[in-house]
Amino acid sequence: MSSKGYRNLCLAVGVTATVALAGCSNYVKRTDFDAAITKLQSTDQSLQQQINSLQQDMQSHFAKYDTQITAMQGRIQVDNVAHFAFNRATLQDQDKAKLDTFAKVMKQHHSNAVVTVEGFADPAGASGYNHRLGLRRADAVRNYLVKQDGMAASHVRAVSYGEARNRQVKPGATRASGEANRRASLVIDYAGDATAS
């Protein structure tokens, strides 16, 4: 065998050994894998318990209002917290009590939760305008929760769905019959750790 062939053979053997050893260094022991899975399951159960606790808190505090509370994939949606007059983004007095209740529960029991305020519009007007109007409505609710009720600004976000057809309560309804579409909802994206009251 020529010296060049011998060097190539040695190089090939060296590369093969390196690849084999590298593969072994990435091997996970079964006990480590089982421990990681157990930890993930425990975390998942803990998060689910927090979500269930928060949902019960919300349902008991919002029983007196016409508000729907839904748990969905680790999140909780509190619908019908605010409705708006046609082409307006001003909070109505009757909705402020609901927002006060929501903020009180969150501050007392889940002060580090992350909340998204979703704003909506009825389908009257241009789509772009309705998207901006939905955001103004979401901002009105967010600002109220932060300024009036003292929720942490970094934990409350605002988004707009405008006139999104698949999110309309009464599809196509506008003006007097479309109030259900002109609304804001709250979504608790992350319940956080339960806080002692």
Q: Are 187 and 77 in contact (CB under 8 A)?
A: yes
- Of 5-14, 20-29, 168-177, least confident by mean pLDDT is 5-14
3-state secondary structure of 124: coil
Task: Spell out the domains of the chain, with CATH numbers in brackets.
Answer: 50-190 (3.30.1330.60)
User: Which pairing describes strands 114-120 and 156-162: parallel, antiparallel, or unpaired?
Assistant: parallel
Full-prediction pTM beyond 0.75? no
CA pair distance 43, 35, nearest whole angstrom: 12
Kindly provide the residue ranges of all beta strands, DSSP E only, lying in 84-177, ordered along the sequence. 114-120, 156-162
Summarize pLDDT for 160-190 with one digit per residue, the tens: 999 999 999 999 999 999 999 999 999 999 8
pLDDT beyond 60 at 20: no
